[in-house]
Structure 1
């Protein structure tokens, strides 16, 4: 199916919130990783979200260009060209845009959508994330509202973050953040709902001990009850209609019971990156080790084209990454929930 439009995306999010599941949001860096995500969503019969970060966009643009927004455009166009062959609904999103990249990544992508809309074409992306979480809360909200104006004008959904997800991702290190910043307060959630909710549809990445990176199960101490406390405060202050659509970042190493509790409190999107990176790379390593004398021209030999051809190991990487995404669909309860052509 074509990439969803604004109204269809809203239907997807409402469907997830009503039925207490979340869409895996898969970070992609190439056509191969996009294909893996599409395959997984198809086989899981789950709608889903494909996303691109600033680093992913830079990588996709190649060493000769190395511009994040240009790579993001290329990935979005590829995803659009392939998604039409899959009977599931896909939304396109950009991940973690920190303040220093707004002018070189986020705004050029919004401007690209403006140009396309003026020509009667669909939006490039469906939603964008602005991550001002390192700023004081008042500055974060003020900057978010400014970007929100452009998003509302172009039928784009904005995702923001309050509190800080610990660890390191995509070259951005928050491991030294004060401990209290790892937990969003009810006041932060109410302020976000009041200021941005009055403008239009948005997503909130509220933090409850989340940490980016690789951790063994049990090493990440989450407090999903923080989400419940915040949602309760929002409903008390602003009414049931202001109940937030939440996003779960930094889920690697999380206990399944904590993930499910977070879903019960309004999480409708969960970012999946670290685990899928490993899932993609693992079979490649296995292939190289098992075919060492074929992928290298050693001791005067010519190697074995069948095993150094990138297609021979690329297919294995795509399949394994797709399998990991299908596991994410199962964990997030999105398996079998696709709205299909009814959307």
Structure 2
């Protein structure tokens, strides 16, 4: 089956009123346990990397491992580069085999965001690669992109319509009140704004900052048209906390197979809970699980 463009995956999810989780992966082993979780639940999935992870592991290496894992587990799998501001890095990712890329020019004025996004769409569309763009500013920290709460801005529905028309971008991430990372309090999601944007654009929407958002809120976002739900921090935390607990309880147990297996199982269970949350369980039938 291999890697697939996320454009048809997300269109299908939107039409069937379920979401697809995009899990940030930060190591090669995490690619396998995310796909193992998806295969066990018969769900499509998107593997997602930050620019920092690409610099650490290499775009070609990530794409080759992701392709091999996707062929093994036989579930619809996309590979997405998230929050990239550099056109050259995006080109390298596409050459390497990424099936989706995000040009994040949301920190620029509207016209420049349009221009930068159009440049990526022109390159990617002929190759069948999905493009994601952002309007407004999602608060929090994503790699080296930091947006203070005071600077976070919600997307304007009419601008979303204009942006999609001018760029022909196939997926859009509007800022609607979520933030990257773990919330200090309950996130104030603007559901009315999501509904208005969904009425004005015909492309799947993306929920950034999906970690620790209450399940009922995520399900409501998905029902309103947010087909891609990004999850990063909770997955990292589950993995890391399992390793920390292992050494707290067994300080002399230094076999990596022991603590990495515990970390894998903890993170895999977290991934499964997110897949169930967006309603994508049992939406595909893998040839091999």
For structure 2, the 5+ residue unaligned runs are none
Structure 1 residues 259 and 89, CA, compared in 2 at 3 Å: closer, same or farther? Answer: same
Which of the numbers 102, 115, 118 marks the counterpart of 1:145?
Answer: 118
Q: Which residue of 2 aligns with 1:221?
A: 188
Deviation at 1:146, TM superposition (A): 1.0
Matched residue SS, 1:282: helix
1:320 and 2:279 aligned: no
Aligned to 2:155: 184
Q: Scaled by the length of structure 2, what TM-score is found?
A: 0.94
Partner residue, 1:2: 2
SS in 1 for 2:133: strand
| Aligned equivalents of 2:130, 2:76: Cα separation in 1 | 16
What is the CA deviation profile of residues 250-278 of structure 1, one whole-angstrom value per residue up to 9, with x for unaligned ones? 12232222212211221111111000000
Tell me if the contact between 1:13 and 1:268 (Cα under 8 Å) persists in the aligned partners: yes
**Which of residues 68, 76, 91 is equivalent to 1:107?**
91
Would the aligned equivalents of 2:204 and 2:225 in 1 still touch at CA under 8 Å? yes
Query: Alignment partner of 1:84: what SS?
Result: helix
Q: Say which of 171, 174, 179 aligns to 1:211.
A: 179
Please say which structure displays the higher CA radius of gyration.
1
Do residues 96 (structure 1) and 83 (structure 2) align? yes
Map of 1:1-343 to 2, 5 A cutoff?
1-4=1-4, 6=5, 9-60=6-57, 71-98=58-85, 101-103=86-88, 105-110=89-94, 112=95, 124-175=97-148, 177-179=150-152, 181=153, 183-197=154-168, 202-215=170-183, 218-232=185-199, 234=200, 242-292=201-251, 294=252, 307-338=253-284, 340=286
Question: Is the partner of 2:23 in helix, strand or coil?
Answer: strand
1:92-121 deviations in whole A, cap 9, x for unaligned? 1111102xx332x212223x25xxxxxxxx
1:89 Cα shift?
Answer: 1.2
Q: State the 1:340 CA deviation.
A: 4.3
Count of residues paired in the alignment: 287
Q: 1:297: which partner in 2?
A: none
> Residues 153, 17 of structure 1: CA spacing in aligned structure 2 closer, same or farther, 3 A cutoff?
same
Give the match for residue 301 of structure 1.
Answer: none
**Where in structure 1 are there 5+ consecutive unaligned residues?**
61-70, 114-123, 235-241, 295-306
Kept in 2, the 8 Å contact 1:35–1:318? The answer is: no
Distance 2:124 2:34 in 1: 26
Give the Cα separation in 2 of the matches to 1:106 and 1:10.
17
CA-based RMSD: 1.7
